[in-house]
Amino acid sequence: MIAVAAPGYPLHFVPAGDLLGILPILIVGGGAVVVLVWDLIRPRGQEVWLAGLTGLFLLAALGTAIGQWVANSGPIVVFNGAYANDRFALFADFVVLITALAVVVLSPGYLRRRGLAEGEYYILLLASVAGMLVLDGALNLIVVFLGIELLSIPLYVLAGFARDDQRSQEGAMKYLLLGGFASGFLLYGMALLYGETGHTSLTAIHAFLLRDATAGHVDPMVLAAVGLLAVGLAFKVSAAPFHWWTPDVYQGSPAVVTTFMSVATKVAAFAVFLRLFSATLAPYRAEWTVPIAVVAIISMIYGNVVAVAQTSLKRLLAYSGIAQAGYIMIGVALGRPDGTQASLYYLAAYAFMNTGAFAVVTILSRRGEDCDRYSELAGLGRREPLLAGLMSLFMLSLAGFPLTVGFFGKFFLFSAAIHDGQLALAIWGILTSAVSLFYYLRVILKMYAPAADVGPVEEFEVASVSPEGTAVAAPTAVGPAVLVVALAGAGTIVLGIFPALIYTLLQGISVVHG
Amino acid sequence: MSWPILSVTLFLPLAGAVAILAIPASRVRTIRLALMAVTALTLGLTCVVLVAYLAVPPAAASKLSGTANGQSLSSIHSPITFQFQEQVNWLQSGTSLSHLHLAFNEGNSAFNQAAPPPINFSYHLGVDGLSVWLMALAALLFLVAAVVLSQRETRLRTFAVLMLLSEVGVLGVLTSLDLILFYFFWEAALIPLYFLMIGWGDPNRGRAALKFIIYTVAGSLFMLLAIFGVYFITGAQTGVYTFDLPTLIAAQSFVHTTQATTFSLFGHSFAWLNPQEWLFLAFALAFAIKVPLVPFHSWLPDAYSSGTTPFLVFFAGIVSKLGAFGLIRYNLTLFPQASHTFQPLMLGLAIASILYGALAALAQTDLKRIVGFASISHLGFVVLGIFALNVDGLNGAIIQMVNHGIVIAALFICVGVVESRFASRTLSQLGGLARPMPVLAGLFLVVTLAGLGMPLLNSFVGEFLILLGAFQASPVWAVLASLGVIVACWYMLRMYQGLTQGELRLPGTGAVSEQLQAVSRRLGRLDVGPVEVVALVPLVALMLVIGVYPAPVIRYGRFSAAQYVQAANRQTATEPALASSRSAARSQP
């Protein structure tokens, strides 16, 4: 029984050690409150301070997490076994916090250009980040659910943040409905697991399942629970065939929200996916590894093949995200330490390249609508050589070319798959990677294609738009935004040449096996 | 050599690229001079490496004589000697992943998971008698490309930078001795090539570039899987997990692999290829696409016909050699038995390439496509020599790789001259150019004759040795390949005669003399200009030198060829042991 139960202690104070263990969450959560208050009392027209304040809290949380990493190499379990502040969680925290920081830097300029309200945006963002941090170290089914909801509810609002944009509204509604549905699946799975094992603590569930499996007994109720959990989580990481919301939501949401959603959400959801499956449910590995592998393969095929047919940049990146989820899922399906390591590596790589790619979309977005049509990229190589170069870099990285971090992401995943004898996963991985080249390289081609290659209609379109485009070409906050893109690019290259920088971090990583 | 000459050679073009980026884009003259200086310096360094390598032979030659005398070679650790080796650790994972490991297991033996093997790879460079030649060739062709690169080329600075980056990639492929490092350069070289392809050339270049990249990467990805296969199988057999090529060759892990993979169908169990054969095929696929061998060649005509001349000089000249280089360096050494098993397959593909390329070249009217298909045919000879699996064949293949690089670059320059003058490269629209352009016709004649394998010119030496080697493998192969040589005369002379002899024909509508005057007015000249002569003369001189006095090239190439053949024939040394192990396996129920 997990019963932290207070009956005997009417005045129960939370021990300081426990609070210390969740310090990053407290900072981010507290930050949300402070920003909320500041938004009420701030003088008019000082919106940029909101972003500054938000960034400051995120930085503080990041610093705290780094300090915790340095201070303790071993796992720290707090709140009576409900939350683990182990290196696994801290690594995921790093990725989430860095992505969130990038998004916060991108936001002010973008929100101003699109004419969106600012105050609530940062509060919701911080709340969602808090949910992700909760999820990273959740060691109890209740906490998992808490984290998922804390992460999702602000995102439902953020997705519909462009109130005048019908697409945004439609996306938010879809996200809300399907997200609620997925939460239902997740909750049902948790209930079954609790009903069968009598525990909500992952540690206790693991011990129970271990006994079960050692006795050679496969419990159908647990299998049903595992299936439901997998469906719920596959929805959150947007793996096919549970991805139906992804393209619409990614396309409809404001570009900064999409950036945040596509990277940070995926990282947090994969963190809990990895912890639940490769650690807690490891005794049932023989039962779930094939279905998860099938989901991974379907994701890789569906995402990559459908992305080829897209004409919208954000949809293309959405389908690419589905495909990438499939690759990361390889590590989950393996259910072994090297698979987990490879998945974490890929998530870190993904954070750099995908944040970078979406950040470019954010910068290119003009008043009223996002840069979305494929054709808007035409001639970017001449207009914005730096942005076009960096966008090419991110596309090459997503395609897995060497010299970029994406190569080593796939490298470790495929190597782990082959080592574990899952040749099918590796082969589907490379076949679909070859398909993915088609659309990633086409983006590059579009940017650098000579004017003659652009059709007459599009040429007209470009011509008619360009006066306005040049007027908005130098918006005020593009400076820091370009800095974000440049940093993401630098990370993509540096980690692509020196993979050891992250790999050694993952070497000593510890997971509380839940 | 105490200072890392290979690294310096490798990264000199990179430094040059950075330096060129610092020059303002408008100063085209400076950019072009800087580009020529960097490529010339790189050529100088590769020549230093070449000379230093060739100066070593005493010790190496003694080893060679050891082979010739039939002495046991077991004392030599790895059959291939690499020189100027440099090694720096790149990714070193600890041997134990205890934290993660323990956390997952918590001392429960029922679910003990084996700790994953460490992943180590290093920045390991080195050259042997195969790569020194190709390095020098690569550096030469990049210099030639820099020379023919016109100052009027659009976005000259970007072109120069991308060209230097591709040079880094090419030299990296040739010098790397670690499978991961090799793969890294192999793929990374595609990035600048892709940008060069989409940025300059014919209108349909985007399609051609995409086709080329997808073909190549699809093949390479299978190679990546095979690299992991090599890594884990060698590790499992010898306990040494390494991507290091000399260590892998020395480990000889695949020499004894005979166990076939089996699959069952309808209750019957079928023996299928063994792991070594699978891995061989995966590597061979990547290289066959790059060469290209015939069923994988369809990217080539498009890519060659849409590129600009400077790009084609090094793209056709050296990039396509990398496939043949890979076949020798990796397939023969890592998978000796499979090389013998698949000898008929590879020879068959080579013959198919020779004949198909030759016949297709006959049917083309576009000059660049003719050269492209001729290239397929010529590279078929190279592969034929490689998989003759004897010293003569391999020796010929190494020489022919160099020869082909020289010839194809010169051909593309000649075709480029014609195209730049008359904005056409359709054979039927052009003719009789020998009269207005005598110098071009003269140089073109030498290049054409070299291309069809005329004695006293370089290709003859290579093709002769290759046919000699193929004959030793089986006379049938040699006879079939000779047919290719005959057709080569036909298509090369058809191109030369059509272009230079007969009545003067030009693509435009007006009177011929007026057209010629217009071209002269536009370009200031009609025949080859000084730049083109400077680019062509060294190539033509090399054709003559190698053709007239091939002895040094043959002698030094022979040493490496012998080493590779020895590596590929390692199974014969262990045949008795193998046979006994086979019979032992058979006797067991």
Q: Is the dihedral of CA B468, B472, B475, B478 positive or negative?
A: negative
Quick check: B95 contacting A, CB < 8 Å? no
Pick from A426, A434, A445: CB nearest B217: A434
Give the whole-number percent of chain B exceeding pLDDT 90.
44
Side chain identity at B519, as an amino acid letter? Answer: V
**All residues at 6 or more sequence positions from A172 whose CB lies less than 8 Å from its CB, including other chains:** A156, A157, A159, A160, A161, A249, A252, A253
Question: Two tokens at B173?
Answer: 């492929």
pLDDT (tens digit per residue) in A409-422:
999 999 989 888 88
Is pLDDT of B580 > 80? no
**All residues at 6 or more sequence positions from B64 whose CB lies less than 8 Å from its CB, including other chains:** B559, B562, B563
Q: Which chain B residues are closer than 8 Å to A214 by Cβ?
A: 108, 110
Is pLDDT of A90 > 50? yes
For chain B, positions 170-199, list CB contacts with chain A under 8 A. Answer: 180, 183-185, 187-188, 190-191, 194-195, 198-199
What SS3 class is residue A404? coil
Residue A508 backbone zone (phi > 0: left; psi -120 to 50: alpha; other: beta)? alpha
Are residues A403 and B195, on separate chains, in Cβ contact within 8 Å?
A: no
Most B CBs within 10 Å, among A284, A401, A505, to test the B interface: A401
For chain A, positions 294-333, list CB contacts with chain B under 8 A. Answer: none
Are residues B214 and A210, on separate chains, in Cβ contact within 8 Å?
A: no
Question: Two tokens at A257?
Answer: 């929200």
At A501, the pLDDT band (50, 70, 90 cuts) reads: confident
Is it true that the peptide bond before B538 is cis, omega within 30 degrees of 0?
A: no
What pLDDT was estimated at residue B267? 63
Are residues B217 and A437, on separate chains, in Cβ contact within 8 Å?
A: yes
CA dist., res. A273 & res. A330, Å (int): 12
What SS3 class is residue A344? helix
What pLDDT was estimated at residue B73? 37
Query: What is the distance in angstroms between the Cα of B91 and the nearest Cα belonging to chain A?
Result: 5
Question: Two tokens at A462?
Answer: 């470009």
At A267, the pLDDT band (50, 70, 90 cuts) reads: very high
Question: Two tokens at A431?
Answer: 């076949």
Q: Which residue has the higher pLDDT, B579 or B216?
A: B216
Tell how far CA B133 is from the center of its chain: 11
Among B240-249, B343-352, B408-417, B532-541, the range scoring the smallest mean pLDDT is B240-249
CA dist., res. A504 & res. B400, Å (int): 45
Is pLDDT of B394 > 70? yes
Q: Where are the alpha helices (DSSP H) in B190-298?
A: 190-199, 205-238, 245-251, 275-290
CA dist., res. B449 & res. B441, Å (int): 12
Pick from B101, B180, B221: CB nearest A430: B221
What pLDDT was estimated at residue B151? 80
What SS3 class is residue B28? helix
CA dist., res. A261 & res. A253, Å (int): 9
Q: Is the dihedral of CA B506, B511, B517, B522 positive or negative?
A: negative
With tokens 């995908």, the residue in question is A354
- Phi first, then psi, for residue B189 (nearest 5°) are -60, -25
At A462, the pLDDT band (50, 70, 90 cuts) reads: very low
What pLDDT was estimated at residue A112? 84
Most B CBs within 10 Å, among A69, A90, A327, A418, to test the B interface: A418
CA dist., res. A238 & res. A304, Å (int): 14
Among A30-39, A159-168, A458-467, B480-489, the range scoring the smallest mean pLDDT is A458-467
CA dist., res. A166 & res. B564, Å (int): 67
What pLDDT was estimated at residue B563? 86
CA dist., res. A500 & res. B123, Å (int): 13
What pLDDT was estimated at residue B328? 93
Element housing B84 (H / E) = strand B83-92
Most B CBs within 10 Å, among A203, A338, A435, to test the B interface: A338
Is pLDDT of B303 > 50? yes
User: Considering the entire predicted model, what is its pTM?
Assistant: 0.88
At B263, the pLDDT band (50, 70, 90 cuts) reads: low
Mean pLDDT for B311-336 is 92
**DSSP 8-state code for residue B265:** E
Is pLDDT of A160 > 50? yes
CA dist., res. B579 & res. B585, Å (int): 10
CA dist., res. A210 & res. A219, Å (int): 12
Name the residue among B341, B382, B354, B404 with its Cα closest to residue B561. B382
What pLDDT was estimated at residue B384? 94
Q: Are B507 and B425 in contact (CB under 8 A)?
A: no
pLDDT (tens digit per residue) in B129-140:
889 999 999 999
What pLDDT was estimated at residue B276? 84
Cα dihedral A469, A474, A475, A478, rounded to 10, equals 120
What pLDDT was estimated at residue B114? 54
As a whole number, the mean pLDDT across chain B is 83
The residues spanned by each domain of chain B are 342-589
The residues spanned by each domain of chain A are 21-466+475-507
At A473, the pLDDT band (50, 70, 90 cuts) reads: very low
Quick check: B203 contacting A, CB < 8 Å? yes
Exposure of A351 in the CB half-sphere (CA atoms within 13 A): 28
Most A CBs within 10 Å, among B217, B263, B289, to test the A interface: B217
First and final CA of chain B: distance in angstroms? 57
Name the residue among A230, A250, A442 with its Cα closest to residue A354. A250
CA dist., res. A135 & res. A204, Å (int): 18
Element housing B121 (H / E) = strand B120-127
Are residues A418 and B229, on separate chains, in Cβ contact within 8 Å?
A: yes
What SS3 class is residue B308? coil
What pLDDT was estimated at residue B480? 92
Q: Are B63 and B79 in contact (CB under 8 A)?
A: no
Query: What is the distance in angstroms between the Cα of A277 and the nearest Cα belonging to chain B?
Result: 11
Q: Which residue has the higher pLDDT, A366 or A502?
A: A502
For chain B, positions 150-169, list CB contacts with chain A under 8 A. Answer: none
* H, E, C per residue of A115-179: CCCCHHHHHHHHHHHHHHHHHHHECEHHHHHHHHHHHHHHHHHHHCCCCCCHHHHHHHHHHHHHH
Question: Two tokens at B256?
Answer: 């004894």
pLDDT (tens digit per residue) in A186-214:
999 999 999 999 999 998 998 899 888 88
What SS3 class is residue B329? helix
Give the whole-number percent of chain B exceeding pLDDT 70.
85
Are residues B225 and A427, on separate chains, in Cβ contact within 8 Å?
A: yes
CA dist., res. A52 & res. B357, Å (int): 65
Tell me how long chain A is: 514
Report the DSSP beta bridge partners of residue B87: B124
What pLDDT was estimated at residue A227? 94
Note the ipTM here.
0.86
Are residues B203 and A453, on separate chains, in Cβ contact within 8 Å?
A: yes
Is pLDDT of B54 > 60? yes
Are residues B103 and A402, on separate chains, in Cβ contact within 8 Å?
A: no
Question: Two tokens at B136?
Answer: 């020098």
With tokens 């918590």, the residue in question is B106
Quick check: B221 contacting A, CB < 8 Å? yes
Are residues A419 and B232, on separate chains, in Cβ contact within 8 Å?
A: yes
What pLDDT was estimated at residue B588? 43
What pLDDT was estimated at residue B589? 39
Residue ranges of E strands in B235-389: 262-265, 268-271
Among A222-236, A275-289, B15-29, B70-84, the range scoring the smallest mean pLDDT is B70-84
Mean pLDDT for B367-389 is 93
Q: Is the dihedral of CA A408, A59, A134, A179 positive or negative?
A: negative
Mean pLDDT for A30-42 is 90
- Phi first, then psi, for residue A224 (nearest 5°) are -60, -45
What pLDDT was estimated at residue B554? 86
What pLDDT was estimated at residue A465? 39
Side chain identity at B304, as an amino acid letter? Answer: Y
